[in-house]
Structure 1
Amino acid sequence: MRYTHGVICADGSLSGDPFDDWFSSDPGIQYLTDDVAIATEPRECRSSSQPVAAEGEAVGFWLLGDVYGYDASAVGRSGGYESRPSDVDPAQYCASLYEREGRRFVCGLNGNFTLLIYDRERQQFTLCTDRFGTVPVYWTRTHDGQVVFSTNIQFLPSHPAVETSFDPAYLHEYLAFRRTFGVRTPLEGVEKLEPGTLTTVSLADGTLTTDQYWRPRYRPRDESFEWFVDEFARRFRTVLDEWTDDGREHGVLLSGGSDSRLVLAGLDDATCFHMNDWMNREARTAERVAFEADAEFELLERGAQYRIDALERNRWAGSFNGWFSQPYTSGFEDEITGQVDALVSGLYADSLFDGFSVPSPTVSLGSLGSVTVPIERSIETIDDYVDLLLESAHDEFDVGTDLRSVLEANIYRDGEGIVHHGVTYDSLDELVYYGDCYPLSNDDDMRFHTDLRRMLPYRSPFLDNRLIELSLSLPIRYRLRRNLVGQAVDRLSPDLAAIPHASTGVSLSQPFPVEYAGKHLLEFWQKHVTNRTPPKPYLTDGPWLDDAELLRSHEFPATVLRQRADLADGLPGLDADAVHELYREHQHGENRVGELYTLLTVLTMPVTEHVLARDSAVLDDGQPIDTRSLQKRVINVA
Structure 2
Amino acid sequence: MIEKEGRWFFHLSMSLDRVQPYDDRTVIYRQGGVILSADNMHPIIRQTSVVLAGQGEFEIFLIGHPAVDDQINDDAVLALLQRGLSSSLEDELVRLNGSFAILIVNHLQQRILSIVDRFSSIPLFWHWQKGRLDIASNLSVLRSVLPMLAVDDMAAAEFLYLRRLMGEKTLLKNAYYQRSASLVLFEPDNEPISSVWWYPDFSLPPLPDKDLPDVIGSTLQSAMSLYLSDRKKVGLLLSGGLDSRALVAASPTQLYCYTTCMQENNESDVARDVAATAGMPFTFLPRKSGILNDYFETAAFLTGGQQIYSECQFMGYGDRLSRQCDVLLIGLGLDIFFGGLYLPSRLGTLFGRPVIHSHLLPLGSDLPETYLNNVSYRLKQSDFWSLVLPNSRQSIEQALLRSVGNIEERGRSLGAEGYTLWEYFHGHNLSRHYSFPMMMSVRSFMDCRAPALENNIFDLSWRMTGRQKLNGTAYQKALVKLAPELMSIRNANTNYPAGMSLSRQTFTKAMQFAKHKVFGSDMPRSPSRADRSWPTAKSQLAASPRLEDRYRFLPQSEALAGLSFLNMDAISEIVATHDRGAHDHAVLINLLLSLECFLLSSQVKH
TM range (shorter): 0.7 to 0.9
CA-CA distance at 1:112 after TM superposition: 1.2
CA-CA distance at 1:462 after TM superposition: 1.4
2:460 matched to which residue of 1? 470
1:582 matched to which residue of 2? 574
Separation of aligned partners in 1, 2:296 and 2:336: 27
1:4 matched to which residue of 2? 10
Separation of aligned partners in 2, 1:50 and 1:520: 63
Partner SS for 2:112:
strand
Mapping of residues 400-415 of structure 1, within 5 Å: 401-402=392-393, 403-412=396-405
Partner SS for 2:225:
helix
Separation of aligned partners in 1, 2:548 and 2:406: 44
1:180 matched to which residue of 2? 165
Paired residues of 1:322 and 1:447 also in contact (CA < 8 A): yes
1:66 matched to which residue of 2? 65
CA-CA distance at 1:238 after TM superposition: 2.3
Separation of aligned partners in 2, 1:181 and 1:523: 44
Partner SS for 2:98:
strand
Paired residues of 2:233 and 2:327 also in contact (CA < 8 A): yes
Identity across the alignment (%)? 20
Paired residues of 1:199 and 1:211 also in contact (CA < 8 A): yes
CA-CA distance at 1:556 after TM superposition: 4.3
* 2:409 aligned residue (418, 431, 443): 418
* 1:566 aligned residue (550, 557, 561): 557
CA-CA distance at 1:228 after TM superposition: 1.0
User: Residue type matched to 1:233 in 2?
Assistant: G
* Distance of aligned partners of 1:579 and 1:501 in 2 relative to their CA distance in 1, 3 Å threshold: same
1:375 matched to which residue of 2? 360
1:626 matched to which residue of 2? none
Paired residues of 2:202 and 2:415 also in contact (CA < 8 A): no
User: Residue type matched to 1:594 in 2?
Assistant: V
* Distance of aligned partners of 1:53 and 1:293 in 2 relative to their CA distance in 1, 3 Å threshold: farther
CA-CA distance at 1:539 after TM superposition: 5.8
Separation of aligned partners in 1, 2:152 and 2:406: 23
Paired residues of 1:254 and 1:286 also in contact (CA < 8 A): yes
Separation of aligned partners in 1, 2:274 and 2:329: 16
Paired residues of 1:586 and 1:592 also in contact (CA < 8 A): yes
Separation of aligned partners in 2, 1:209 and 1:45: 30
User: Residue type matched to 1:66 in 2?
Assistant: H
* 2:318 aligned residue (333, 339, 357): 333
Partner SS for 1:401:
helix
Paired residues of 1:167 and 1:186 also in contact (CA < 8 A): yes
* 1:128 aligned residue (105, 115, 122): 115
Partner SS for 1:225:
coil
Separation of aligned partners in 1, 2:207 and 2:46: 46
User: Residue type matched to 1:154 in 2?
Assistant: S
Which is worse superposed, 149-158 or 49-58?
49-58
CA-CA distance at 1:153 after TM superposition: 0.8
Mapping of residues 417-496 of structure 1, within 5 Å: 418-419=409-410, 426-429=415-418, 430-453=420-443, 455-496=445-486
Query: Normalising by structure 2, what TM-score?
Result: 0.84
Offset from partner CA, 1:77-135 (integer Å, 9 cap, x none) = xxxxx22365x447535435436754121122112111112234443211111112111
Mapping of residues 20-419 of structure 1, within 5 Å: 40-43=34-37, 46=44, 48-51=46-49, 57-69=56-68, 82-84=69-71, 86=73, 88-89=74-75, 92-98=78-84, 102-104=88-90, 105-142=92-129, 144-159=130-145, 163-203=148-188, 205-219=189-203, 221-267=205-251, 268-361=253-346, 373-382=358-367, 383-389=369-375, 392-394=378-380, 395=384, 396-398=386-388, 401-402=392-393, 403-412=396-405, 418-419=409-410
* Distance of aligned partners of 1:428 and 1:151 in 2 relative to their CA distance in 1, 3 Å threshold: same
* Distance of aligned partners of 1:116 and 1:237 in 2 relative to their CA distance in 1, 3 Å threshold: same
Separation of aligned partners in 2, 1:171 and 1:102: 39
Partner SS for 1:180:
coil
Which is worse superposed, 261-270 or 429-438?
429-438
Separation of aligned partners in 1, 2:506 and 2:340: 12
Offset from partner CA, 1:572-597 (integer Å, 9 cap, x none) = 14465532321221233312122111
* Distance of aligned partners of 1:324 and 1:46 in 2 relative to their CA distance in 1, 3 Å threshold: closer
Partner SS for 2:409:
strand
Paired residues of 2:56 and 2:108 also in contact (CA < 8 A): no
CA-CA distance at 1:427 after TM superposition: 3.6
CA-CA distance at 1:271 after TM superposition: 0.7
User: Residue type matched to 1:467 in 2?
Assistant: I
CA-CA distance at 1:512 after TM superposition: 3.6
Do residues 593 (structure 1) and 595 (structure 2) align? no
* Distance of aligned partners of 1:60 and 1:373 in 2 relative to their CA distance in 1, 3 Å threshold: same
* Distance of aligned partners of 1:68 and 1:504 in 2 relative to their CA distance in 1, 3 Å threshold: same
Separation of aligned partners in 2, 1:68 and 1:18: 29
Partner SS for 2:283:
strand
Partner SS for 2:480:
helix
Separation of aligned partners in 1, 2:523 and 2:558: 45
Separation of aligned partners in 2, 1:431 and 1:574: 32
Separation of aligned partners in 1, 2:363 and 2:573: 38
CA-CA distance at 1:303 after TM superposition: 3.6
* 1:505 aligned residue (468, 483, 495): 495
Paired residues of 1:418 and 1:426 also in contact (CA < 8 A): no
Offset from partner CA, 1:284-342 (integer Å, 9 cap, x none) = 11111111112111112114221432323423212223322222222111211221122
Paired residues of 1:291 and 1:297 also in contact (CA < 8 A): yes
* Distance of aligned partners of 1:522 and 1:469 in 2 relative to their CA distance in 1, 3 Å threshold: farther
CA-CA distance at 1:428 after TM superposition: 4.1
Separation of aligned partners in 2, 1:468 and 1:571: 41
Paired residues of 1:248 and 1:341 also in contact (CA < 8 A): yes
User: Residue type matched to 1:64 in 2?
Assistant: I
Paired residues of 2:140 and 2:305 also in contact (CA < 8 A): no
Do residues 546 (structure 1) and 536 (structure 2) align? yes
Which is worse superposed, 371-380 or 224-233?
371-380
Query: Pairwise CA RMSD of aligned residues?
Result: 3.6
* Distance of aligned partners of 1:516 and 1:354 in 2 relative to their CA distance in 1, 3 Å threshold: farther
Q: How many pairs are equivalent?
A: 574
User: Residue type matched to 2:71 in 1?
Assistant: R
Partner SS for 1:540:
helix
Offset from partner CA, 1:427-464 (integer Å, 9 cap, x none) = 44443112213211341012222333454333222111
Separation of aligned partners in 2, 1:232 and 1:533: 29
CA-CA distance at 1:260 after TM superposition: 0.5
Separation of aligned partners in 2, 1:208 and 1:175: 30
Separation of aligned partners in 2, 1:150 and 1:222: 38
* Distance of aligned partners of 1:226 and 1:454 in 2 relative to their CA distance in 1, 3 Å threshold: farther
User: Residue type matched to 1:244 in 2?
Assistant: L
Paired residues of 2:291 and 2:315 also in contact (CA < 8 A): no
Separation of aligned partners in 2, 1:147 and 1:158: 15
User: Residue type matched to 1:322 in 2?
Assistant: Q
* 1:609 aligned residue (594, 600, 603): 600
* Distance of aligned partners of 1:125 and 1:516 in 2 relative to their CA distance in 1, 3 Å threshold: farther
Paired residues of 1:569 and 1:575 also in contact (CA < 8 A): no
Separation of aligned partners in 2, 1:307 and 1:191: 28
Partner SS for 2:438:
helix
1:75 matched to which residue of 2? none
